[in-house]
Amino acid sequence: MKKLLSLAMFPLLFACNEGDAANVQVAPVAIDDHDRCHICGMMITKYPGPKGQVFLKSSDNIPKFCSSRDMFNFALQTENQRQITAMYVHDAATTDWEHPADSAFIDARTAYYVYGTSKKAVMGPAVAPFSSKEAAEKFAAQYGGRVLDFESITLELLAGTE
């Protein structure tokens, strides 16, 4: 009887771990030449500047964006904020601005950003991401703009009302 009870309890051990699914680490994925921006529908690789992507709790679909700016416009919407498990952007210090490499993706939440730069990207002013504050400051000194952390990027800033 004890063996039968033990076997009956076995599936419950796995059921307790289902809540950990949201804590699974995900890695950025390649942006294909045919991928379209989740916000505007434009072909992502046809335009310059850093790109972005987000991973969602409730979907296997990975929204990809033609700019880090579009990624923020999606990620900062209230209905999307709680669904996001990971966000990645290109490190502008380690990749070509015109053709960012998939190997240059970094965690968007730990990045520093330069906003208001003279360097152009698609869909309005660039939100240029960097893995270090020093790299962001160097870029801002060369191309203008102000250095911000992840928490400082807001919809108001992107809309030009801040």
Question: How much of the chain, in percent, has pLDDT values that exceed 70?
Answer: 85
Give the CB-side neighbour count of residue 30, counting CA atoms within 13 A.
Answer: 3
Q: Please state the domain extents for the chain.
A: 33-159
Q: Are 37 and 121 in contact (CB under 8 A)?
A: no
Looking at residue 15, its pLDDT comes to 45
> What average pLDDT does the segment 127-144 reach?
98
Q: Which amino acid is at 95?
A: T
Q: Are 102 and 27 in contact (CB under 8 A)?
A: no
Considering the entire predicted model, what is its pTM? 0.84
The 10s digit of each residue's pLDDT in 45-91 is 999 999 999 999 988 899 999 999 999 999 999 999 999 999 999 99
For every residue of 72-127, DSSP letters joined together read: HHHHTSHHHHTTEEEEEEE-TTTS-SSS--GGGEEETTT-EEEEEEEEE-SSSEEE
Model confidence at 42: pLDDT above 90: yes
Looking at residue 23, its pLDDT comes to 55
Looking at residue 5, its pLDDT comes to 42
Quote the CA–CA distance of 94 and 132 in Å, as a whole number. 11
Model confidence at 24: pLDDT above 70: no
Edge-first strand listing for the sheet containing 112-120: 125-130, 112-120, 146-149
